[in-house]
Amino acid sequence: MRPSVLEHGYGVGPKLLFRLIRLMSGRPAPDAAKITFYRPDFYGAHVKKLTQEAMRGPSAWSVGDRELMAAYVSQLNACPFCVGAHTATAARAYNDPERVAAVLADLDSAPIAEGLRATLRMLGTLTREGTLTAGDVRTVLSAGVSPAQVEDALAVGFAFNTTDRLANAFAFEVLSEEGFEAGAAYLLKRGYK
Amino acid sequence: MAAEDTKRWLHQRLVDRIRQGPGQAPAEQRRAAFDNAELPEPLRALLDKVATRSAQVSDADFAAATQAGYTDDQLFELVICAAVGESSRQYEAGLAALAEATDGPEAR
């Protein structure tokens, strides 16, 4: 990671934890996990709570739907680390890798519910253009999505618009397919806490 | 509605912390990074990329900021502010569009 303090600047506790993770899992802790332990009072502790609430808190969207939103937003932000991580997590949550691949290849023709498709389109507009109109939201509501679901999707968008930028700026190391699979299993079992 | 309130509250707490809480970069500079406005070079070059095209951030962008005297800890803070700032503008634009579409935040 860059700047180099993000590779080497951790205290004794986090260093011990990273060694333990390597020992238990046979893999180094992913950079996305490591960074939340760097000066956690500034960013990591706060963002974990918000991400956990957005991705695993109460919502009419399933965990798979929210992980798919994360993968989709990350693809638009051209963030290879997050696309890999959340494609694997969505695929595992749905137990349906083909559905996730179809959405990322062509949202218009993917075999998903119209409400989810409309919501992903809305997140795409927001991510690409940086803003949304009331008309954009009305289109989603008229596809049968509730206002609370729109708000929940916007929170997922916030979490990943932030994480994607940090992953790219701090140069998170992209994992192997097996590494992303292991990360997906962890995120489904333990969440973002 | 409670779950949505929780997320807005957690978001605001994160924003307040990085903009106003203790840090190694001056709070004024962290707010400028958050707003992506009125930043001196070479910070502007690095942080504008973080906000608008993060895939293009390079080692050279960090090297230029380091050479200008910014420490790793200051850059850590300022990059986070730039990322959260842009994402927050989008989040708030989305929430405003939702409020307008539902004719006010109470119409649920």
pLDDT in tens, B50-93: 999 999 999 999 999 999 999 999 999 999 999 999 999 999 99
Low-confidence ranges of chain A (pLDDT < 70): none
Size of interface A-B (CB pairs under 8 A): 154
Contacts 24+ apart (CB under 8 A), A67-70: A67/A93, A67/A187, A68/A94, A68/A100, A68/A103, A68/A116, A68/A120, A69/A119, A69/A120, A69/A123, A69/A153, A69/A156, A69/A157, A69/A160, A70/A156, A70/A159, A70/A160
Closest CA of chain A from B32, distance in Å:
17
Instruction: For B4-72, give the secondary structure using H, E and C.
Output: HHHHHHHHHHHHHHHHHCCCCCCHHHHHHHHHCCCCCCCHHHHHHHHHHCHHHCCHHHHHHHHHCCCCH
Q: Which of B1, B57, B91 is nearest residue A148 as measured by Cβ atoms? A: B1
B108, pLDDT greater than 50? no
Closest residue to B97, CB basis, from A49, A79, A136: A136
Contacts of A54 in chain B (CB under 8 A): 7
pTM of the model: 0.96
pLDDT at residue number B104: 55
Are residues A169 and B50, on separate chains, in Cβ contact within 8 Å? yes
Cα angle vertex A33, ends A30, A34, to 5°?
85
Q: B3 pLDDT band (50/70/90 cuts)?
A: confident
The pLDDT value given to residue B1? 52
**Nearest C-alpha of chain A: how many angstroms from B69?**
13
Q: A142 and A115 in contact (C-beta within 8 Å)?
A: no
Give pLDDT tens digits for B14-33: 999 999 999 999 999 999 99
Closest CA to A28 of A190, A192, A187, A174: A174
Residues in chain B with CB shorter than 8 Å from the CB of A150 are: 94, 98
Q: Which of B12, B54, B86, B100 best probes binding to A when mutated, by most A CB atoms within 10 angstroms?
A: B54
Residue type, A94: Y
Which residue in the set A9, A146, A154 is minimally distant from B95, CB to CB? A154
Most A-contacting residue of B5, B7, B88 (CB-CB within 10 A), to test interface: B7
Distance between CA B58 and CA B42 in Å, rounded?
13
Structural domains for chain A: 44-190 (1.20.1290.10)
pLDDT given at position A48: 98
